[in-house]
Chain A
Amino acid sequence: MAMKDKPDNIFMTTLDAAASWARSNSLWPMPFATACCGIELMATASSRFDLARFGAEVMRFSPRQCDLMIVAGRVVMKMLPVLQRIWLQMPEPKWCISMGACACTGGVFDTYAVVQGVDRFIPVDLYVPGCPPRPEQLMAGIIALQDKIRHGGTLNGTEFAKRDRSNGPTPYDSDELIRIREANEKLISLN
């Protein structure tokens, strides 16, 4: 449809672009702050760094009211079912930011209880590296996510169907102590 002499106060856009623009500028985060990264998340939202400038200041503690989950901190075995449940309770369209080394990979906590990266069990859209990431870095992450939504978002969320997830868990070490003992015995016999 061509409108040759449209007045100045009329804009042409697509529904997808309009919806994505609106969504990207009103992200409501769900702060899933389980450890030290959570402190940095709080700093990001408070006055010095002021996340409100990017339309993402309304931290909601009810999953029904948010569309951006920020996993800030390590997630342990006992917490993962909670995380998954909260994720499932959030209404579509929704996005997930994995904040910090622990949420992305388990970080230095390579132990029996800590999940080695939340992306094994829930879909993650954006990773913010750092231990902890500075508020600027989290903001850069949120801006990048807004960009992603603006450029790839659709009105009915068809882009989510294409999104990959990671390949899942790697094999675990079951006999670590036995291997350590054998290595020690080898060392002793060498001396």
Chain B
Amino acid sequence: MSTAEALKAKFPEDELVFSEFRDNHRVAVPATKLMPILSMLKSDCGFDMLAELTAVDYLEYEGATDRFGVVYVLLNNTSGERLILKTFVNDPSPSLPSVYSLWKSADWLEREVYDMFGITFVGHPDLRRILMPDEFTAFPLRKDYPLKGRGERHNFPIVTRADS
């Protein structure tokens, strides 16, 4: 039984949107069903590795209905099968359940998505910024954040010859 069939057998079909692009199998799922679907994929379909977790900001994207897309790339190490799973969250305070309990690799991946997009992962053991300094307040990969920042890069004390 293929992964798609297994998914269709367990969850109502109209909530899952399957698509394919150059041998990549993709499925979009509702955020409310994320946890049951992911745990089923892990336990029943053998996806034992979370290879990638990232997000996309669809602000001002043509035809987009939701603000953020969160993408999970799963890998089955036995069969080599990959599955790209996508879910959508919206402003204000976008949040998703953490998948740290399923795959430990989600630890830093979720921290990165939180750092860059401000999507909180409920249940993550240690959700801190990972790339930007702790005192940074914005989420730089959001499309409404200016490319050159809001002056954070200029906001340092100036060390002169007299200080040293």
A residues near B (Cβ < 8 Å) are 77-78, 80-81, 84, 87-88, 90, 92, 94, 110-116, 120-123, 160-161, 163, 165, 168-169, 172-177, 181
Residues of chain A within 8 A (CB-CB) of B143 are 177
Overall SS of chain B's interface: loop
Residues of chain B within 8 A (CB-CB) of A81 are 156
A165–B158 CA distance with the chains assembled, in angstroms: 10
Cβ contact of B154, chosen from A90, A120, A161, cutoff 8 A: A120
Q: Give 22 pairs: A residue, B residue, CB < 8 Å, sorted on A.
A: A77-B153, A78-B133, A84-B157, A84-B159, A88-B164, A92-B164, A111-B147, A111-B148, A112-B140, A112-B149, A112-B150, A112-B152, A113-B140, A113-B153, A121-B157, A123-B160, A123-B161, A161-B162, A173-B147, A173-B148, A175-B146, A176-B148
A81–B135 CA distance with the chains assembled, in angstroms: 13
Contact A122 B146 (CB under 8 A): no
Residues of chain A within 8 A (CB-CB) of B126 are none
Contact A121 B132 (CB under 8 A): no
Digitize B105-130: 1 where CB-to-A-CB distance is under 8 Å, 0 elsewhere. 00000000000000000000000000
- Report the minimal beta-carbon distance from A188 to chain B, rounded to whole angstroms: 13
A78–B146 CA distance with the chains assembled, in angstroms: 19
A166–B151 CA distance with the chains assembled, in angstroms: 18
Overall SS of chain A's interface: loop
Closest A residue to B163 using CB positions: A88
A168–B158 CA distance with the chains assembled, in angstroms: 8
Count, A-B residue pairs, CB within 8 A: 87
Residues of chain A within 8 A (CB-CB) of B133 are 77-78
Contact B158 A94 (CB under 8 A): no
Interface residue? B11 (CB, 8 A): no
- Report the minimal beta-carbon distance from A88 to chain B, rounded to whole angstroms: 5
A177–B146 CA distance with the chains assembled, in angstroms: 6
Contact A163 B161 (CB under 8 A): yes
Residues of chain A within 8 A (CB-CB) of B60 are 181
Residues of chain A within 8 A (CB-CB) of B145 are 112, 177
